[in-house]
Homo-oligomer: A and B are copies of this chain.
Amino acid sequence: MKHFLNEPEKWVETDTLSRSLDLDISTVQRSVKKLHEKGILQRSQQNLDGGGYVFIYKIHSRNQIKNVILKIVQSWADRLGQELEQWENGG
């Protein structure tokens, strides 16, 4: 995550990341997958000359990340509001 924040314009492969962070490739893959699912990283498919492809990742814009966070907080606040509503009505 920190790596991506420091290099906001760079696309990177998990393989490169694994080497530069000295982390197991499966650890890196799990992490980028999660960050991609949560809308923090964008993913692109890079086709290889010999056929096949690798995924490359880059961080989303700060604006997009801000919106991801605000959306999570908003949905949490909405949920809390509903729970309190139930409690108010004697639930």
Give A residues with C-beta under 8 Å from B. Answer: 62-63, 66, 69-70, 73-74, 77, 80-81, 84-85, 87-88, 90
A24 to chain B, nearest CB (A): 31
13 A-B pairs whose Cβ atoms sit less than 8 Å apart in the complex: A62-B87, A63-B88, A66-B84, A66-B85, A66-B87, A69-B80, A69-B84, A70-B81, A70-B84, A73-B77, A73-B80, A74-B77, A77-B77
A2 to chain B, nearest CB (A): 15
Give the residues in chain B near A90, CB-CB below 8 Å.
62
Task: Return the 5 tightest CB-CB contacts between A and B, nearest first.
Answer: A66-B84, A62-B88, A66-B88, A73-B77, A63-B88
Q: Report the nearest B residue to A87, measured CB to CB.
A: B62
A34 to chain B, nearest CB (A): 20
A61 to chain B, nearest CB (A): 8
